[in-house]
A = this chain, B = another copy of it.
């Protein structure tokens, strides 16, 4: 994918200058097609130039890199300089996510669109706090409403999620391990469930003629 060092031929200086200037002001990854439109150049050409530029930055050992994520291109600091950059970026972009938030993020990412209740069912506990946190961080968003009673909100992941994960699109998410392919383990019932049930079903032993005092209770 990355072009070899040879930078000259396909990188028109004017195109490079325009691309670099625009990349400096984008606030989210910008699609090659958008750049092509603004620059009135074929998308192919823009893409080729972006790839050449990406390779050039790497070859030159620059402090910034050009990445293609979330369906677009954007400038990032080179991780090699992270130690210095941290001093100037007061707040980490999303801090550290709690385990609850990560679980919830995974469920939303792989099952989207999904309702809050469905997330809670998988987690076994309420997911409100975690979803709220992910909403606030811009990693998930409301994507619609389910056509069912109460019309619960459906959630999905955002472009920022893809960007943070370094993914071009959701198709690049690592496949989930298939847990259902394994057979269920045995649950040895030494006593036998049927036997247990039968005892429950058996008529009450003795004392069946409890006094009618029961009425007083309620």
- Chain A residues with a Cβ under 8 A of chain B: 13, 16-27, 30, 34-35, 37-39, 61-64, 75-78, 80-82, 84-85, 87-92, 94-95, 98-100, 103, 123-126, 128, 132-133, 135-138, 141-142, 158, 217-218
CB of A43 to closest CB in B, whole Å: 15
Select A18's contact among B13, B17, B24, B63, beta carbons within 8 Å: B63
Apart from A24-B76, A24-B85, A125-B137, what are 20 other A-B pairs with CB-CB below 8 Å?
A: A16-B62, A17-B63, A17-B80, A18-B84, A19-B63, A20-B63, A20-B64, A22-B63, A24-B63, A25-B85, A26-B92, A34-B88, A34-B92, A35-B88, A38-B87, A38-B91, A90-B128, A99-B135, A99-B141, A99-B158
Tell whether, in the assembled complex, residue A13 and residue B133 are in contact, meaning their CB atoms are under 8 Å apart: no
How far is it, in angstroms, between the C-alpha of A36 and the C-alpha of B158 when the chains are bound?
Answer: 36
A129 to B182, CA, bound (A): 14
Q: In the complex the two chains form, what is the Cα distance from A209 to B99 in whole Å?
A: 50
User: Is the pair B128, A132 in contact by a Cβ cutoff of 8 Å?
Assistant: no
Partner of A124, one of B21, B34, B132: B132
Q: Could you jot down 6 A-B contacts, CB within 8 Å?
A: A17-B63, A21-B78, A21-B85, A24-B63, A25-B77, A99-B135
> Which chain B positions have C-beta within 8 A of A23?
63
Looking at the assembled complex, report how far the CB atom of A46 sits from the nearest CB atom of chain B, in whole angstroms. 12
Q: Is the CB of A84 within 8 A of B39?
A: yes
Q: Which of B21, B61, B98 contacts A13 (CB 8 A)?
A: B61
Q: Give the residue name and chain of the B residue nearest to A22 (CB).
A: B88
Return chain B residues, CB-CB under 8 Å to A138. Answer: 98-100
Q: Which residues of B contact A75 (CB under 8 A)?
A: 24
Residues in B with CB closer than 8 Å to A135 are 99, 103
Cβ-defined contact, B95 with A125, below 8 A:
yes
Pick the 6 closest A-B CB pairs, nearest first.
A20-B63, A21-B81, A21-B63, A21-B77, A91-B126, A18-B84
Q: Which residues in B have their C-beta under 8 angstroms from that of A27?
A: 133
Q: Which residues of chain B have C-beta atoms less than 8 A from A25's C-beta?
A: 77, 85, 88-89
A30 to B91, CA, bound (A): 12
